[in-house]
Structure 1
Amino acid sequence: MILTNTYRLQSWLRSSGACLALAGAAALSPADAHAAPAAPAGTSMSPAGHRFDAVASGPIVFEAGPITVTCTASESRAQTGAGAYNTIPPGPGNANPQGPVAVRIKAPVFKDCSTDAPGLRVAIETNENNGPWQISLQYGKPSTARLSIPAGGFVLKTSGLLSCTVTAAPDASTTAQGHWEAGSGSALTMEHAQIPVKIEGSFFCPTSLTTATISARYAVHNTTDPDHGITVDPA
């Protein structure tokens, strides 16, 4: 049975890797390469000084070639005390007339993670050893939200028939692109946001891959005053 599963896994790795390469090639075009970015608008994040939680509302999906990992829960909770995480800067630091507002957040935790590959188990660890996790919110239509991951701040490990280690932002901090949902249900959403990775491990690990994706929706709740939402407005 182990030999049969290993054969199926090898075939799956080859076919999935080819599909990923084709998808990556199709995502780029000359028009993308020459498009000039618009100047950023000013941004204001409110209420100033309030704390917030970011809690996943739905599955979090990581894809690195043939490895697809789904976590049923993830969260970054507000912290108190000096240098508190998940706190909107007090005024006037909650506004930037020339671009985004950045907020340091507690490194998110990921729970109940599994993979659809046969015979694989998965574990995820996050850390702040090389710098902070942050979100940067930029007002627009729609407003954008970027999740900054410090170098080596996210490590995914598989075990079982295939032992691989996937390290996000292996050489320097990186940013996953997303957007901000306004209104009573404020949220940060990422849909196949790309992040650089380094993959190491046994022979059949897809070590040639240098990019993975994350898809998630994090609902953002005001913990200082739950009756008021977190808003992103023009500065």
Structure 2
Amino acid sequence: MATRRLRASAALTAATAALTLGATHAAGALSAGSTTVTPAGHSFTAKLNGKATFTAGSTTMTCTVSASAPNGTATNKIPAAPGNHNDAGAVSAPINPPTFSGCTTSIFGVGVTVTSNATNGQWSISAQNGSPVSAALTMPKGGVVIKTSGLASCTLTASPTGPTSVNGTWTNGAPSRLAIANAPVAATGTGGFLCPTGNQTATFSAAYDVTDTTDPAQQITVGG
């Protein structure tokens, strides 16, 4: 039972898995069609609404805090016009690696530390106009590392072989929302006694509110 519960940590690599969306092992394109994201050139932040859950089998781990915010660079920024429009597909933007905290498991005596990174490439988010509007969060190889301590000392690495795109839906609103439901996430685990080792599969669910930080009176909107 403890081993199955530790596997729930692997799902956290989705967040990788906290903005976000069925997974692929490449930053695959969304279905073709005209897309425009506005306001062009504005910065945005994505903040967890509720809880992020990471589930393996019958075991779930929960995180209460997750966000990706601008830091003064080109990340977390809608492309300036005309880059915010694509006649034949999705519009994408680089983002800062989402952070995760307030994470717990039901295993007594086991602590969890989650570290996201852009060591092997850039994180990004894409949106494709449609009904519903679809979205994808792409993390680079090894974009999240989870370590447990205490009763079991384990390391799980997300997206171990290359970029992974996690798909979900987008809803325009005040604020707009990116929702991910039971998205599969690949990870690999190492460690000693009670640790999940080798290739792992888990699911990630979360909802993120996406707000305009350049002009909070405006909304981040996806259209045709």
What's the TM-score once normalised by structure 1's chain length?
0.80
Change (3 A) 1:68 1:157: farther
Partner of 1:142: 132
Partner of 2:43: 51
Unaligned runs of 5+ in 2: 9-29
Partner of 1:115: 105
Shift of 1:105: 0.5
Identity, % of aligned positions: 43
Q: Does 1:41 align with 2:30?
A: no
Choose the corresponding residue for 2:81, options 91, 94, 102. 91
Letter in 2 for 1:225: D
- Give secondary structure in 1 for the equivalent of 2:33: coil
1:94 and 1:9 map into 2 onto residues whose CA distance is 47
Partner of 1:220: 210
User: Which structure has greater strand proportion?
Assistant: 2
Q: How many residues align?
A: 202
Query: Are 1:65 and 1:206, in contact at CA under 8 Å, matched by a contact in 2?
Result: no
Letter in 1 for 2:43: R
Q: Which moved more, 1:107-116 or 1:66-75?
A: 66-75
Change (3 A) 1:140 1:96: same
Unaligned runs of 5+ in 1: 1-7, 17-37
Query: Are 1:148 and 1:175, in contact at CA under 8 Å, matched by a contact in 2?
Result: yes
User: Which structure has greater helix proportion?
Assistant: 1
Letter in 2 for 1:76: S
1:91 and 1:184 map into 2 onto residues whose CA distance is 23
Q: Does 1:70 align with 2:66?
A: no
Change (3 A) 1:64 1:165: farther
Query: Are 1:175 and 1:195, in contact at CA under 8 Å, matched by a contact in 2?
Result: no
Larger-gyration structure (1/2): 1
Structure of greater relative contact order (alpha carbons < 8 Å, 6+ residues apart):
2
Query: Are 2:191 and 2:197, in contact at CA under 8 Å, matched by a contact in 1?
Result: yes
Query: Are 2:184 and 2:204, in contact at CA under 8 Å, matched by a contact in 1?
Result: yes
Shift of 1:208: 4.8
Query: Are 2:169 and 2:180, in contact at CA under 8 Å, matched by a contact in 1?
Result: yes
Q: Does 1:102 align with 2:95?
A: no
1:39 and 1:103 map into 2 onto residues whose CA distance is 17
Shift of 1:79: 2.3
Q: Does 1:60 align with 2:52?
A: yes
What's the TM-score once normalised by structure 2's chain length?
0.83
Q: Residue deviations 1:103-135, cap 9 Å, x none?
A: 100111111111112321100000100001110
1:55 and 1:199 map into 2 onto residues whose CA distance is 28
Query: Are 2:186 and 2:199, in contact at CA under 8 Å, matched by a contact in 1?
Result: no
Kindly report structure 1 stretches of 4+ aligned residues shifted beyond 4 Å. none
Q: Residue deviations 1:40-69, cap 9 Å, x none?
A: 211110010001010111111122456632
Letter in 2 for 1:44: T
Partner of 1:188: 178
Q: Residue deviations 1:167-199, cap 9 Å, x none?
A: 110010101111101122201111111121111
